[in-house]
Amino acid sequence: MTISLAGVSYVVGSKHIVNEVDLEVGCGEVVVLLGPNGAGKSTLLKLISGILVPESGTVKVLGKKVHELGLAERARSIGVLTQRVALDFPFTAREVIAMGRSPYGAGVSGAAILDELVDELAIDADQDYLTMSGGERQLVQIARVFAQVWERGEKAVLLMDEPMTALDMKHQVQVISILRRLAKSGLSQIVVMHDINMAATIADKVVLMSSGGIVAFGSVSDVLTETLLEETFSTPVEVSKQPYFRAKSRP
């Protein structure tokens, strides 16, 4: 398993933000985390990436405890997109994307990777990042994280927190296409989402979280049921087999 959590908890004061979570993600799997606000999804990603240290339990990435990975190894092995990225300097889009290649040093050329990502995501590489819209900035940050794990395959993992929130339909389809390609290369992914239809489109497995714990974990058909969704979100749900929008695979 490329990502393994055993009995992982994280406590703030007397509140269990993450509570006794067990989770395993195999090579090349795309796992989507769904749940209400405050369920512990973002905190779980931070625990997996090593940003936070669990109160108890074990987090392993690529067979090692995450905090036993050196900082350089962690930067090459774990790509992380957080909900908010603060960047207040007038870099060009290309310069921001190039930051994803910084773990590999000045001697490792990533120009071809940057060119490929800029072209595939239709990014204006020379535009000042600070003049971009929220959706354009989000796309650049996604490209930066893709650059970090590009061509790493089963030697890396990708953690993304609500990557699609600010993107229009075209760019959502482009990002989904790249996520699928990375999965085929062996790159394991955990993606936090609120869009259940999109989760059903891209996920190999789904995790439903509520109050810091896992309500259900399994295939899309087993987990995205009316009973489990209503239990997780505390609201009536009707599940349809025909979503309004489904991203097509690109040739």
The pLDDT score that the predictor gives to residue 146 is 97
Answer positive or negative: Cα dihedral of 82, 84, 85, 90: positive
8 A C-beta contact, residue 59 and residue 48: yes
> Which neighbouring-strand residues pair with 56?
9
Question: Out of 97-111, 112-126, 181-195, 198-212, which region has the weakest mean confidence (pLDDT)?
Answer: 97-111
Q: How far is residue 234's CA from residue 250's CA, in Å, rounded to a whole number?
A: 37
Which value, in Å, is the radius of gyration of the alpha carbons in the chain?
A: 18
First to last CA, the chain: 30
The predicted-structure confidence for 174-211, as pLDDT tens digits, reads as follows 999 999 999 999 999 999 999 999 999 999 999 999 99
Whether the predicted model's global pTM rises above the 0.85 cut: yes
The predicted-structure confidence for 65-74, as pLDDT tens digits, reads as follows 999 999 999 9
Mean pLDDT of the chain: 93
Phi and psi angles of residue 61, each rounded to the nearest 5 degrees, phi first: -130, 125
Q: How far is residue 211's CA from residue 231's CA, in Å, rounded to a whole number?
A: 12
Which residue do the tokens 């993606």 mark? Answer: 191
The architecture in CATH of the region 28-54+73-233 reads 3-Layer(aba) Sandwich (3.40)
Domain coordinates in residue numbering, the chain: 28-54+73-233
Q: How far is residue 235's CA from residue 204's CA, in Å, rounded to a whole number?
A: 25
Residue 106 binned pLDDT confidence (cut-offs 50, 70, 90): low
Q: How far is residue 61's CA from residue 155's CA, in Å, rounded to a whole number?
A: 10
Residue 18 binned pLDDT confidence (cut-offs 50, 70, 90): very high
CA distances from 181 to 28, 191, 244 (A): 10, 15, 24
